[in-house]
Structure 1
Amino acid sequence: MNNLNALLEPGMLVTHPDRPDWGTGQVQSNIGGRITVNFREEGKVVIEGSRVSLVPIFE
């Protein structure tokens, strides 16, 4: 898992760098490098943090 993914906590907003069509997602959990995110346009997705670097949204 990359360093930014390790910092992701429930409630944080993220985007998937390869799937902009999924829209903004809210982190549901981050356990053992498996990040569950509820995306606006795709629904709930489990991301393997070692394979994908999610992009946090800081507002």
Structure 2
Amino acid sequence: MMAKTNPFKFLEQVRSETSKVTWPTRRETMVSTFMVFVMVVFAAAFFFVADQVLGYVVGLIMNARV
């Protein structure tokens, strides 16, 4: 079983660990955000086209059997 930690000691440890983190610059954050939006648009376009093509093919198959 884990030993209980004093809340103040815990907060001190959190502050210590947080100071070790290398935070991204504003520019890096903006570039990363932009790239995420670009990839979302590409993925959405790809899945839209794939869905339309597969729907068309399934429609052809289903109508051919009738």
**How would you bin the TM-score normalised by the shorter chain?**
under 0.3
Give the TM-score normalised by structure 1: 0.14
Larger RCO: 1 or 2 (CA < 8 Å, sep 6+): 1
Which has the higher Rg, Structure 1 or Structure 2? Answer: 2
Give the structure with the larger helix fraction: 2
**Richer in strand (by share):** 1
TM-score (norm 2): 0.14
